[in-house]
Chain A
Amino acid sequence: AQSVTQLGSHVSVSEGALVLLRCNYSSSVPPYLFWYVQYPNQGLQLLLKYTTGATLVKGINGFEAEFKKSETSFHLTKPSAHMSDAAEYFCAVSDQNSGYSTLTFGKGTMLLVSP
């Protein structure tokens, strides 16, 4: 089974600072990777995904992530944090169970942005 590990349950940054949220995956096959964002008491919204091709993936709201096979990583970055980026972020990998595809999520990282 595939899995993802998100390092750091909470990350704090100042407004305007670089955002870096870490995700490492474990996969026996080429992975398909996703980043989602969740605002309080809401569902998850897709930020970006990596399937094949270009390893630097750009998403919504100025976020991007780079797939590094040698490091089994898919870290999420944003050059300059906004107050509105405060939310919980989840990394996920596509998994297969009994021939069917599911998404396996990390435990999430809460991003706190201070003025």
Chain B
Amino acid sequence: KQEVTQIPAALSVPEGENLVLNCSFTDSAIYNLQWFRQDPGKGLTSLLLIQSSQREQTSGRLNASLDKSSGRSTLYIAASQPGDSATYLCAAPHIKAAGNKLTFGGGTRVLVKP
């Protein structure tokens, strides 16, 4: 059974500092690795999706890397802003799971202080 872990559970940084969020998974047989953002009281917004054959994906200030052999993915957010404050979740669909069934990590709650 796939298990996805995110450490730390919470992170507080001053504005302008780079953010590094970690995600680990126990089974490397995944289709892809996805990062989501969740604002309080809202649904999840997809940020980045890294295919299993890729090493990283970039979108603006966001960069996500994937190392299947070590079962890890890292989300980097450059020059953090107060608007980046949210909970960030990673998720992975297992190759043997039906369709696009995702297993989510517990999330990292980020606070960027002005």
Chain A partners chain B? no
**B contact set with A: CB distance below 8 Å:** none
**A contact set with B: CB distance below 8 Å:** none
